[in-house]
Structure 1
């Protein structure tokens, strides 16, 4: 085999290319694994660079579309936190199932709802967050003596109660501009596929996010991300992009500012995992396609970041292309194994020692991940042997990018960026009873291409009830809490807003 490689230039390039790819990947994981085991210096702020945690106002943005069956419980879990400096702004992105009515019925002045209507509605999560951020600036951003932190929690998110205090504790350090908490899958006990997703999130946060704290390249996720209002304003009036992965884009661009992104393993948000391979393929294809769209961030990372942060951010941006190349390597390995097995069946003598090295390369890191996962889940009754079995399945689960990666690339090439909202699934409690989470498939479009915005607006308007009479160019904010004076943070140029047109404070989008 070696001689054949030496005599064939193409095979030689392929051989050493594979060696470099595998070696680089293993070294990268090893380095992050080692540095993730210790705390970064940023956790110890200087006294002159800190602020009092109790003075930080936390505003939770909760974007939702047709979430009437779950939004009440989601908001209720946040309101169970006894905190008079916690505010919740639900962003109803053109729902037609009464989502806003459910929120308005909650008798707590800390909650308000912003209704986005066509043609502004259903243009993507980033656009909804940007519109909501404008109202945050108007209502809470005018007091220079109060630090304002903006959090994002999905409609099905279950934020652990200590997360708000942990966020305040992190933002005492004036250098920190954004904080990301971990993500757990709350239905991991009922589905093997959901268990793999939980393991995926745990390993990502325990190894990669914790390791990136030392490199100053922590990324932002779409759930349980918190950022200073000032840090978001440093990116302009509308910091979130129209990308399918607006959270990844935000994290990369925040890392290029004077602020520092941080990850805190002390709290997490629990969300629903996908238990259907078909829905998982659709979801992960969208994520992969969003990462492909982030290629234009390379120049920004090169200009605005330095040292290890720039190197790691470059690696993150190029990861989807590395995975696509790795899928070809995996296919080649599979073909080689099939040929060797076929020859052995036909009676040809074969050497099998290389299978041990192949096993260690493929499953070695997974076994380490299995031990890490066991250390976290053993309090929930997970045994070490079972966790190591999960580790083997996790390696096979990691081959799925070979499926949705190429699908995402094809969609990007042909210009398909519209996506159907991922369906909720009925969750079961410990006694087997189903909770009030809708299981029906939601065919409503949540994100559409910019060129089809007008069509989406018209379709959304047609789906509204006949007695719905909000002017189509308005965003409606109901029952707002007491506000600070309306001054705009430095560096943000706001266009003049028309005067209030109703008792609910309707303003132009």
Structure 2
């Protein structure tokens, strides 16, 4: 019984240990490699950027999103909007843009094919691109056409294509993910926590995994070679709840490398209330567990180095620590609380003998707060975000509490997976900044 309690007490250290290990790898990668720079021969002019925007009832944000995409520097830009059975004015707004600008196209999906998930909508876009070449595709082969997945509320930085293009100078690179920020991060603490969550994850884990060619792909700000999509068959995206993560794993199993750059980013809306946030994170956690299905394929593909394989396995199984931490808290902390109360008057040596591990746990958990705060502050400075170091340290303290949201989320996602419940609810939008919607030609 004692050894079980000691083992339970060690479990919460595992995520922190993983954080520190990946942090060291990220620092090493930053020292030996510049993420924004690849082979100098590759520039944005060498590629056609096809922005695919899946939409379901996005009338509040789609106009402003199209304005931003069409304003990106360079002429080699095409936009394909996939209307996945909207019953609002989304299609009408996009149609007006398409009538005015040939770079915009609308693909409408109707029942019974529509509303079967983001993966199905993206596959429909892929089929359309294979049968009807995008505007401006003449002169570009599949290796030089980049399909860019952007959410309807996504705000890609103007330097996005120019920053990402050099990374595709490496012919082994099949996809690149850019950083993600919350554009409403100043609106409240919950949105700020989501911004910190994404930034710290990318600054530590994505930087380190980029070194192996294993950077994770997200559903927003994802750049993929058309030739890489072709190697995945007729349906590059699957029905998994995290179809982006799954597609990245399938690319890696086929020998492609996936990269990441923190030198640019895409902004999206941070959720303002706890319930939809928990629902969203439950979907992500469940989708991550679904990707365990790819473990045999990754282990048996024969195209990955030992280092890449170990990284992928650690990353895929890491969510299990969320469940183990919950069990650890239930098994270990009540006993420690009982001992603390019953032996409150013991000597310092006696206290350390009974509670030393708990003390180290406390110091280690809260000891990373200055590290997280400094990482966030430095990253914000690069994006001209007006956050002071004291503010960042305060946010890091709040983040240490916010992170416990994953404990109930993990169990709920596991229960849904065991029930084979793959349903999901769309995240509601708030109105975007006003945009000038062109009128139809007469």
Taking structure 1 as the reference length, the TM-score comes to 0.77
- Residue 159 (structure 1) shift: 0.6
Q: Which has more radius of gyration?
A: 1
- Residue 169 (structure 1) shift: 2.2
Alpha carbons of structure 1 residues 334 and 390: separation in structure 2 relative to 1, 3 Å: farther
Question: Which residue of 104, 116, 130 maps to 2:109?
Answer: 116
- Residue 255 (structure 1) shift: 1.4
Question: Which residue of 369, 373, 379 maps to 1:366?
Answer: 369
Matched, 1:303 2:300: yes
Alpha carbons of structure 1 residues 371 and 140: separation in structure 2 relative to 1, 3 Å: same
- Residue 386 (structure 1) shift: 2.2
Residue 424 of structure 1: SS of its match in structure 2? Answer: coil
Which residue pairs with 1:410 in the alignment? 415
CA contact (8 A) 1:149 1:228 kept: yes
Question: 2:167 and 2:151 mapped to 1: Cα distance?
Answer: 21
Question: 2:33 and 2:188 mapped to 1: Cα distance?
Answer: 39
Which range moves more in the overlay, 314-323 or 95-104? 314-323
Question: 1:350 and 1:70 mapped to 2: Cα distance?
Answer: 63
- Residue 248 (structure 1) shift: 0.8
CA contact (8 A) 1:244 1:287 kept: yes
Question: 1:32 and 1:312 mapped to 2: Cα distance?
Answer: 10
Residue 263 of structure 1: SS of its match in structure 2? Answer: strand
CA contact (8 A) 2:217 2:245 kept: yes
1:472-491 matches, within 5 Å, as none
1:155-304 matches, within 5 Å, as 155-304=152-301
Alpha carbons of structure 1 residues 201 and 52: separation in structure 2 relative to 1, 3 Å: closer
Matched, 1:83 2:83: no
Which residue pairs with 2:405 in the alignment? 400
Question: 1:26 and 1:191 mapped to 2: Cα distance?
Answer: 27
Question: 1:100 and 1:366 mapped to 2: Cα distance?
Answer: 46
Post-superposition Cα deviations, 1:401-443, rounded to whole Å, max 9, x if no partner, equal 111111111111122221221112357xxxxxxx569xxxxxx
Structure 2: state its 5+ residue gaps: none
Which residue pairs with 2:93 in the alignment? 102
Question: 2:284 and 2:394 mapped to 1: Cα distance?
Answer: 27
Question: 2:13 and 2:2 mapped to 1: Cα distance?
Answer: 18
Which range moves more in the overlay, 87-96 or 360-369? 360-369
Question: 2:126 and 2:423 mapped to 1: Cα distance?
Answer: 24
- Residue 332 (structure 1) shift: 3.6
Taking structure 2 as the reference length, the TM-score comes to 0.88
Which range moves more in the overlay, 57-66 or 106-115? 106-115
Post-superposition Cα deviations, 1:129-185, rounded to whole Å, max 9, x if no partner, equal 011011112233886753111010000110101001122222222221100000001
Question: 1:46 and 1:199 mapped to 2: Cα distance?
Answer: 31
Residue 185 of structure 2: SS of its match in structure 1? Answer: coil
- Residue 303 (structure 1) shift: 1.5
Which residue pairs with 2:51 in the alignment? 60
Greater percentage in helix:
2
CA contact (8 A) 1:51 1:174 kept: no
CA contact (8 A) 2:8 2:327 kept: no
Instruction: Count the aligned residue pairs.
Output: 417
Residue 309 of structure 1: SS of its match in structure 2? Answer: helix
Which residue pairs with 2:22 in the alignment? 32
- Residue 376 (structure 1) shift: 2.2
Question: 2:286 and 2:336 mapped to 1: Cα distance?
Answer: 31
Post-superposition Cα deviations, 1:36-64, rounded to whole Å, max 9, x if no partner, equal 123465967568xx555413111010001
Which residue pairs with 1:497 in the alignment? none
- Residue 348 (structure 1) shift: 4.5
- Residue 388 (structure 1) shift: 1.4
Which residue pairs with 2:318 in the alignment? 319
- Residue 295 (structure 1) shift: 1.5
Question: 2:297 and 2:110 mapped to 1: Cα distance?
Answer: 34
1:67-78 matches, within 5 Å, as 67-78=58-69
Matched, 1:134 2:127: yes
- Residue 341 (structure 1) shift: 5.5
- Residue 340 (structure 1) shift: 5.0
What is the alpha-carbon root mean square deviation over aligned residues? 2.4
Post-superposition Cα deviations, 1:78-112, rounded to whole Å, max 9, x if no partner, equal 11113211101001000010211101111211111
